Structure 1
């Protein structure tokens, strides 16, 4: 599958880039006339992601707690990938704006960051990666880039779909891992990467003049907003669902079990457990910490206040440390005194104390929600569904493919390209539609 041919500099939009950004930031892969004078390119990008079918599909993809789980007293209505993305976008927009980023750019990146997640989240991601080993593997972040630049139908050229045709700066901000498979700049064994080989043309275009392996400032803001949102909200959902008892975190055996989960997974393997203990103590010492949560209306209100306090705490820590390190840097146009930290003019600084506190929250949700016995059984079943679905589609394709992917399958040049289309089809499914298609093709529930 060949990528679309790059366009000449005439693809610049006919307006002045937002303050702090240069003309290259608002270039698009394929030229488009501006529909509404006065609206910025980043406002257009935000609207495109917000109105995309890919974003809506995230409503059918589980975040951590399975929808329908009942809490001690009420239906918890836990987060989905969609609500997580919306909350991440709110956190990222405000933090980015406080640091001088264009808020629409950061929000568009935050809304885009999970679009490539397949059904069943990271569990489905691992199953798809096993299936796709001989066509380049699977990675949710690389799939997000593929979706934004190729799969989501919005703009077409003579060479085919160019996806949402977003600006260079927004695509760069949505790229958490700006390197291909096996090219992690500091960890060659890492499975994280941000682009498949057949998407390299558009990746090389969006990364033009960017330092190798370095994420732009807006992508760093997006990444921290993602960490903040899911660490805080996963604990909130776990409390609502009755899986987490905050009083248990005062017992030393339970605390040590949480620290074991955190070390190596959420913090470096050489982290001293005492440092994590201090982080947990700092949180528990706060007046707003949800001690004794029992699901009553008063407890729910206190918990909601705790989530707000935590988000503010983590964002303010990053904002203060970053301003202390980079101050009032020049904008991308070279103007001094803009107060805008953008693109490659700064690095987001998150104090270690804040990272330790965030990691403890992640480990609490991991320990008490994701490691439950029923979750292990559910994940095993999900892997079977994805593996059998991939096998059935491979045997029957193009039968079973949606019209969009059927056409791509028919146009594919070889078996490797046809397998990538099957991967794209499975990745586009929600949890429910994956199970439905699996049942239809295999005859098994």
Structure 2
């Protein structure tokens, strides 16, 4: 039954459900994401540290839960439907492959002949095609068949691949559903809920990855406090990776950030219960500041609201955005680029490269039962390669390692039915 509200419509019409709960369409969207196999697999996918290396450290699943919590509260303060921003936070990383951003870059190279790979475009594909929930009248999967508003809120980069740009949100063969969910929206403009999710993602990424780095012993503020050259190198990294600010402008913000008393517990962390409590207090204060600053600035420009969809744009003050970028830079410089990381990243890329090669060569026999018929139905080599990429991207970190060992050791036979979910 088609909803009279365009935002609550679904790509495939569904009969009304009388569950007795009286749930809204967006509450149903949230439940569909939470109960999806793709969401469960995030528990064994890398955030920054490889999944399973330390029970304290975050995975893609815990990161997504934290993003959803931050986005829900921020969105509610602005007047967004809280379930829509919650869905966006929960779902925003569903398309990420094994091994985090390193895996994403590797698959982008391997998928060059079928349009490349991007985690956000893959998320749309998971939500609208790959996840099992609703079958359309043509017999094809409609994925979770979320509402237009929820899909739009997940669209962090609502455009196809552009020359010279790494980030994009839709592959060529997913354009029909993308064009439907973006109907009537100016090209490239993001709804407020997507902007809220994106900022919540940045906040969680910056604050929590530094927290994990401090706890893991990879991050210490001492070099930044005593060495001007180290501060300059950090600012250069941030300017090249996370910020449009110049290194000189970032240096001024960094001086203020390091002088902030809220960071004091980070300089003397010993892992004790007291130290962990102090570290958690620091992350809570920083998160609150980053969120409150954006909410206040948005309400100052657009009024108290309520605001939703395209009634306003999120405003993040320049200094707050720069502080967030500097924290992301600390994680980049001292965690992701720590000694030994280059060899580890190379091993991960080799695993994914070997998997794509062997699956493409031996498909459809070695593909999971969900992907094998999609490969057979592919009209050309590019379409069949895309199915192979979908298969590899669905794997968790441990599953990718296990599949690599099994397939390259020459083991015969089809992967078990639940292979990608392990």
Q: Which residue of 1 aligns with 2:418?
A: none
Q: Which residue of 2 aligns with 1:165?
A: 145
Q: Which residue of 1 aligns with 2:133?
A: 154
Q: Which residue of 2 aligns with 1:293?
A: 269
Moved more, 90-99 or 27-36: 27-36
- The CA RMSD measured in Å over matched residues stands at 1.6
Q: Which residue of 2 aligns with 1:211?
A: 186
Q: Which residue of 1 aligns with 2:237?
A: 261
Report the alpha carbon displacement of residue 274 of structure 1 after superposing the two structures with TM: 4.2
67, 81, 95: which one pairs with 1:88? 67
57, 60, 64: which one pairs with 2:41? 57
Matches within 5 A, 1:253-402: 253-268=229-244, 271-287=246-262, 289-290=264-265, 291-328=267-304, 339-402=305-368
Using the alignment, how far apart are the partners of 2:407 and 2:193 within structure 1? 43
| 1:142-180 deviation digits (Å, cap 9, x = unpaired) | 000000000000000132100000000000000011111
Q: Describe the SS at the equivalent of 1:64.
A: coil
Greater helix share, 1 or 2?
2
TM-score by length of 2: 0.93
Q: Which residue of 2 aligns with 1:39?
A: 23
Q: Which residue of 2 aligns with 1:250?
A: 225
TM-score by length of 1: 0.88
User: Is structure 2 residue 388 aligned with structure 1 residue 422?
Assistant: yes
Using the alignment, how far apart are the partners of 1:223 and 1:101 within structure 2? 14
| 1:159-208 deviation digits (Å, cap 9, x = unpaired) | 210000000000000001111111xxxxx411111000100000000000
101, 114, 125: which one pairs with 2:93? 114
Give the direction of change, closer, same or farther, for the CA distance of 1:287–1:397 in structure 2 (3 Å limit).
closer
Q: Which residue of 1 aligns with 2:2?
A: 11
Moved more, 148-157 or 404-413: 404-413
Using the alignment, how far apart are the partners of 2:211 and 2:95 within structure 1? 25
- 8 Å CA contact 2:51–2:397 kept in 1: the answer is no
Using the alignment, how far apart are the partners of 1:312 and 1:230 within structure 2? 14
Q: Which residue of 2 aligns with 1:25?
A: 7
Report the alpha carbon displacement of residue 254 of structure 1 after superposing the two structures with TM: 2.5
Using the alignment, how far apart are the partners of 1:365 and 1:272 within structure 2? 17
- 8 Å CA contact 1:283–1:357 kept in 2: the answer is no
The ranges of structure 1 where at least 4 consecutive aligned residues each deviate by more than 3 angstroms after the TM superposition are: 274-277
Report the alpha carbon displacement of residue 34 of structure 1 after superposing the two structures with TM: 3.1
Report the alpha carbon displacement of residue 440 of structure 1 after superposing the two structures with TM: 1.2
- 8 Å CA contact 1:246–1:293 kept in 2: the answer is no
Using the alignment, how far apart are the partners of 1:55 and 1:103 within structure 2? 19
Q: Which residue of 1 aligns with 2:159?
A: 179
